[in-house]
Structure 1
Amino acid sequence: MKLKSASIYLVESGGIRPVILELETDSGLTGLGEACIAYGVGGTGTAGMLKDIVERYMNSGLDLLRIEALWTEIYDHGFWAKGGGPIVYAAMSAIEQALFDIKARSLNVPVYELLGGRIHDWLRTYCNGWYFGCTRDEDLPRAAAKAVEDGYDALKFYPFATILPDGRLRHPSYRAASDRSVVQRSIRTVRDLRNAVGPDVELMLDLSAGLTPDDTIRFCQAVEPFDITYVEEPAVPGDVGALVKIARSISQRIAVGERIYSRYGFRDVLESRAADILQPDIGNTGGLLEARKIAAMAEAYSMKVQPHICASALSTAVGMHFSASIPNFYIQEHFPYWGRIPGHVDVLEDPIESSVREGFIPVKDAPGFGVHLRRAALEKSVFASFSWQ
């Protein structure tokens, strides 16, 4: 089985820019991977890094089944992977995922069988993006209640963010050092959400390192009466000292990981014991095997793991296979309402989002990741293509 072609897609999709890799073999099998730098800036840089790596390391003579050998070759000799950040690791993640998809399809098994086999048949999920369509804070309680009516008993939100008139979120500037109103507004928002959804729905708060540690502590202490399941990214990623300070001062559990890359980046967080839940993003931390190693490290510290998901529906499918295979899985992020965003592009023919029932994802047993691209929707999104014939 030889590599025949590769296509890199940079998709303009309602304010996010998914970066997707498709590999095709001479036997007709295809594999998909996603570099999860879909929001913020960096999509073009990631697509460019992916192009550079494909040009240098991938060709028709590549042994497609030696996945970790290729990953290690790029890590050891690509230079920027050692101590690297999201651009290089996201590109490596997309390549690794696509190779796993090909290998599993060639064996006619789901990808999770290559990660040790399925442990979980159903995956509990929390709903993110339930606030899509809101244009002001006053809209949030009603939208949260509607998500609960749709069957979700766990919701995540960004309390420090401002809702812009077009519905997008804007996080605080300058860590809101001179704006005390941010904390007070955020406390009111959390109170209103709790009142709207009742006592039995879990609320997770993504703080996105938006405030200074002292204001973060003040906020977390103030929302204690509202029974918050965990706070996510309360400190700047990599500032373990700030994370420790916050953890010692608040009652809520702490989740971190979406902006930490590779097992090496997670090591200090684990050793600090300042976090309770790890959230590696499979599309930017190095791929499935790297996330699996991070989960094993977390297991040794008796910590829960949930994959960070915030890109296209492909990342949800990849996350399903990872989550199904780890013993310390906690809950999976899920965006069921992307369709509310003007300009959103459905990149898959068969996304797993539509299979979610009462807040649970049924783990599919189709070969590979079990999903296929909507090529007709991506014709104008080709960033680069390669052919080896």
Structure 2
Amino acid sequence: MFLRSAHIHVIESGGIRPVILRLETDAGIVGLGEAAVAYGVGARAAAAMLQELAECFLKGEVDPFRTEAITTAIRDFSFWAKGGGAILNAALSAIEQALFDIKARSLNVPVYELLGGRLRDDLRTYANGWYFGCASDLELRTAAEKTVADGYDSLKFYPFATILPDGRLRHPAHRGAGDRDLVGRGIARVAAVREVVGAAVELMLDLSAGLNPADTIRFCHAIERYDVAFIEEPTEPDDLGALTLISNRISQSIAVGERLYGRQGFRDLLESRSVAIIQPDLGNTGGIWEGRKIAAMAETYGVKVQPHICASSLSTAIGAHFSAAIPNFYVQEHFPYWDRTPGHVEVLKNPLEPRVTKGRLPIDDAPGYGVELHQDRLAPFLYAAVDLS
């Protein structure tokens, strides 16, 4: 069995811009993957990189079962994969994910069986994105209350972000001396959300590297009374010195990882002992098997794993197989109200999101990732078709 074709889609219907890969073999078996740069800038760049990697590394009687050989060749001979950033690693991730899907479908097993078998039957989730569209702090309180009423006992939000009229977030780029208004506004938001959801609900805060270390420390000290489960990205992703400084000065657990790539990107972080939770994104850190290797590294340091998921519903399905099979799983990121966000749910005929009950995500036991692309909806968004024969 060899690879026959690759189809790359960039869904440009608003909201987010998922980059979807569909690999097909000469036996008609299809594998799916996603380059998880659907938010921010870079979707078309990742699609172009996917096309180029497919043309360079997947052509000419390539056996899709030789996943490690293919991904190793990309890392060794693309040149830019060594120390590479989001665009190359996102494209590599989509290829690796699709190869795992092909292998699992060929063997008629779920992907989690290729990762060691599942350890749990469903996944605890935390709600993200519940604050989209809130134009005031009062509306933020109302949205938090509604989300808890919908069955979620864990919520994450951005205390410093400005929510734009179209629902998008604008994060601060604060690098100067103490901006008391910004920090004070963040403290007030945390207090307000904690008040409305009660003590039993878990709160997580994503700072998105928006403050300098001194202000981050001051903010974390001020919110100690509100029992925050973790602080995400309290500093620049590659500034291990600042992360260690903050970790030594605050009581909250720290979570990072969505902007780190491959095992090498997590090695020094784990050795620093400055984090309690890592958040590899399986769509930009190298793929689901690379994520499994990273999780094993984290396990040796007693660090929990919470995969970062912020793309289409395909990424949700891929993340579920990963989370089902790792011992140190913490919680699954989930956007419960993104069924209203074009580009998220409609890429699949059978997304997992509508099946979430009381904040628990099911694990599908169908072959592969257990999901099927909605080809009719994706057809207008074809970026490239590559003949691999």
For this structure pair, what is the TM-score category when the shorter chain's length is used for normalisation?
A: over 0.9
Taking only aligned residues, the RMSD between alpha carbons, in angstroms, comes to: 1.3
Deviations 1:336-382 (A, max 9, x none): 21133467661111111111111111211100000011111111111
Q: Write the distance in 1 (CA, Å) between the matches of 2:79 and 2:197.
A: 49
Which residue identity lines up with residue 40 of structure 1 in the other structure?
G
2:72 equivalent in structure 1: 72
* CA gap 1:116/1:286 in 2 versus in 1, 3 angstroms: same
Alignment of 1:66-145 (within 5 A): 66-145=66-145
* Counterpart AA for 2:114: L
Look up the SS of the partner of 2:249 in the other structure: coil
Structure 1: gaps spanning 5 or more residues = none
Counterpart of 1:159?
159
How far apart are the structure 1 equivalents of 2:178 and 2:49?
A: 38
Tell me, what secondary structure is at the counterpart of 2:31?
strand
Report the residue type matching 1:316 in the other structure. T
Deviates further, 171-180 or 111-120:
171-180
> Is the CA contact (8 Å cut-off) linking 1:309 and 1:315 kept in structure 2?
yes
Query: Do structure 1's residue 17 and structure 2's residue 17 form an aligned pair?
Result: yes
Structure 2 equivalent of residue 373 of structure 1: 373
Distance of 1:230 and 1:141 partners within structure 2? 20
Alignment check: 8 A CA contact 1:306 1:331 kept: yes
Task: Kindly indicate whether the alpha-carbon contact (under 8 Å) linking 2:92 and 2:286 is maintained by their aligned counterparts in 1.
Answer: yes
In 2: Cα distance, 1:377 partner to 1:362 partner? 25
Q: Is the 8 A contact 1:217 1:249 kept in 2?
A: yes
Verify the 8 A CA contact 2:90 2:283 in the aligned structure 1.
Answer: yes
Contact 1:14–1:345 (8 Å) recurs in 2: no
TM-score by length of 1: 0.97
Task: List gaps (5 residues or longer) in structure 2.
Answer: none
SS of equivalent residue, structure 2 residue 175: helix
Give 1:334 deviation, angstroms: 0.6
CA contact (8 A) 1:93 1:287 kept: yes
Give 1:256-267 correspondences, 5 Å limit: 256-267=256-267
Cα distance in 1 for residues equivalent to 2:238 and 2:344: 33
Cα offsets for 1:104-130 (capped at 9, x unmatched) = 000000000001111111111101111
2:313 and 2:192 map into 1 onto residues whose CA distance is: 30
CA contact (8 A) 2:313 2:344 kept: no
Contact 1:19 1:35 in 2 (8 A): yes
The amino acid that maps onto 2:294 is I
Distance of 2:374 and 2:150 partners within structure 1: 27
**Residue 2 of structure 1: how far off its partner (Å):** 1.9
Confirm or deny: 8 A CA contact 2:209 2:234 kept in the other structure. Answer: yes
Displacement of 1:208: 0.5
Distance in 1 separating the partners of 2:85 and 2:39: 15
CA contact (8 A) 2:277 2:303 kept: yes
Map of 1:3 onto structure 2: 3
Q: Structure 1's 295 and 262: CA in aligned 2 closer, same or farther, altered over 3 A?
A: same
- How do 1:313-332 and structure 2 match up within 5 A? 313-332=313-332
- Aligned counterparts of 2:98 and 2:78: Cα–Cα separation in 1: 19
**Aligned partners of 2:34 and 2:94 also within 8 Å:** yes
Amino acid at match of 1:328: N
Letter of the structure 1 residue corresponding to residue 224 of structure 2: E
Task: After TM superposition, give the deviation of residue 37 of structure 1 in Å.
Answer: 0.6
- In the alignment of these two chains, the number of paired residues is 389
CA distance in 1, matches of 2:38, 2:263: 22
Give the aligned partner of residue 62 of structure 2: 62
In structure 1, the partner of 2:287 is 287
User: Once the 2 structures are TM-superposed, how far is the Cα of residue 176 of structure 1 from its aligned partner?
Assistant: 5.9
* Percentage of matched positions with identical amino acids: 63
Separation of aligned partners in 2, 1:301 and 1:24:
39
- How do 1:103-252 and structure 2 match up within 5 A? 103-175=103-175, 177=177, 179-252=179-252
1:23-74 Cα shifts (integer Å, max 9, x gaps)? 1112221110000011111111111111110010112400110001100001
> By how many angstroms is 1:177 displaced?
4.4
Bigger Cα displacement from structure 2, 130-139 vs 46-55 = 130-139
Q: Deviations over 1:64-106 (max 9, x none)?
A: 1000110000101110011111111110000000010010000
Any conservation in 1 of the 2:178–2:215 contact (CA below 8 Å)? no
Residues 129 and 335 in structure 2, CA contact (< 8 A), matched pair in contact too = yes
